[in-house]
């Protein structure tokens, strides 16, 4: 009887479902879901995630709204916020425009006309339309002609930097990320505003990948 019991127990142990099977079945049935932008995603690593981008652009926007030279000028200053001088010197592949676009759009909405934004990255489109107007191929539109396209007073500049470290023994990856945002006076060249957003992330992969 004991022999039979031992044999049965061993048999059950062998044929029992693997621990991950139920989890996998559950995952397979999971439909796609909308997630909060400021929540950590299901895909984890040491790279910047959506919540980092949301958090950093919100923080920069709030800080920019307190800069007197920008917000309290008698004439609304013109600012360029695009990715051209926002440099990625880091080890992270990133679409910088996601950051600068979010910052510009939210700042434009919050500044409510106190700042004007120059779309310098679309200068070709502007020039083409001006040329067509000048050549008489199209009319002048409804807002009239200007002597030249808008010059800017300030431009967003900055840098993304990272420092990576790996503990080979434990497989822990660590990344310190620094996002520097600055506002450059395009006439005088001084930096009228600076701020920094930094974070550090660590992740450890399973032993089967080490």
Partner 1 sequence: MARWREAVAIGVAGCMIAPAHAFDRDPKPFIERLQSEGDRNRVLNQMELGVRYFWADSLNDAGAALDNCIRDIETVFLNDPSVTKARSRWYEEGAKTFKGEPYERAMVYYYRGLMYLQAGDYENARAAFRQGSMQDAFAEEEQNQADFALLLFLEAWASHLNGDKALRDEALDRVKKIKADFLGIADEDDTLVLAETGYAPRKLGDGANHSYFVYRRGKGFKEDHASIAVGQQVYALYPIEDIYWQASTRGGREIDQVLEGHVRFKNRTGDVGSALTQGATAFSAMGGGGGIAAGVGAIGALASLISTSAKARADTRTWSSLPDRVHVATFRSTTLGSETPTVSYLVGDAPSELAPASVTFRTDKRGHRMALVRSR
12 binds partner 1 (CB under 8 A): no
204 binds partner 1 (CB under 8 A): yes
Binding characters for partner 1, 23-62, by CB under 8 A (x = yes) = xx--x---------------xxxxx---------------
- Shortest CA distance to 57 belongs to which of 122, 104, 11, 15? 104
| Least distance (Å) between residue 189 CB and partner 1 | 19
Secondary structure percentages of the chain, helix, strand, coil, to 5: 35, 25, 40
The stretch among 31-39, 52-60, 98-106, 167-175 that binds partner 1 (CB under 8 A) is 167-175
> What whole-number distance in Å separates Cα of residue 141 and Cα of residue 163?
51
Binding characters for partner 1, 83-122, by CB under 8 A (x = yes) = ----xxxxxxxx-x--------------------------
CA count, 13 A, side-chain hemisphere, 187 = 6
Q: Are 178 and 162 in contact (CB under 8 A)?
A: yes
In the block, tokens 């051209």 appear at 84
Give the chain's length: 210
Longest Cα–Cα distance in the chain = 103
With residue 193 as reference, give the H or E element that holds it: strand 191-204
**Which residue in the set 75, 113, 139, 209 belongs to the binding site for partner 1 (CB under 8 A)?**
209
| Least distance (Å) between residue 135 CB and partner 1 | 27
Residue 102: other Cβ atoms inside 10 A? 19
The stretch among 65-73, 146-154, 163-171, 178-186 that binds partner 1 (CB under 8 A) is 163-171
Q: Which is nearer to partner 1, 17 or 136 (CB)?
A: 17
Interface positions with partner 1 (CB under 8 A): 3-4, 6-7, 10-11, 14-15, 17-21, 23-24, 27, 43-47, 87-94, 96, 164, 166, 168, 171, 173, 203-210
């Amino acid at each position: 009887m004991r022999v039979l019991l031992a044999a049965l127990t061993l048999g059950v142990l062998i044929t029992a479902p693997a621990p991950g099977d139920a989890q996998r079945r559950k995952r397979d049935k999971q439909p796609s879901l909308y997630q909060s932008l400021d929540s950590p995603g299901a895909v984890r690593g040491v790279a910047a995630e959506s919540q980092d981008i949301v958090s950093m652009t919100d923080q920069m926007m709030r800080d920019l709204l307190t800069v007197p030279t920008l917000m309290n000028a008698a004439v609304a200053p013109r600012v360029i916020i695009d990715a051209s001088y926002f440099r990625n010197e880091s080890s992270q592949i990133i679409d910088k425009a996601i950051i600068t676009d979010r910052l510009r759009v939210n700042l434009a909405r919050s500044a409510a006309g106190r700042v004007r934004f120059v779309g310098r990255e679309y200068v070709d489109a502007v020039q083409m339309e001006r040329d067509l107007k000048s050549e008489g191929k199209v009319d002048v539109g409804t807002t009239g002609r200007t002597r030249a396209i808008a010059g800017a007073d300030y431009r967003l500049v900055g840098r993304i930097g990272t420092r990576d470290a790996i503990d080979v023994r434990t497989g822990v990856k660590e990344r310190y990320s620094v996002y520097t945002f600055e506002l450059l006076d395009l006439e005088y060249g001084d930096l009228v505003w600076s701020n920094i957003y930094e974070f550090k992330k660590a992740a450890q992969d399973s032993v089967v990948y080490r």
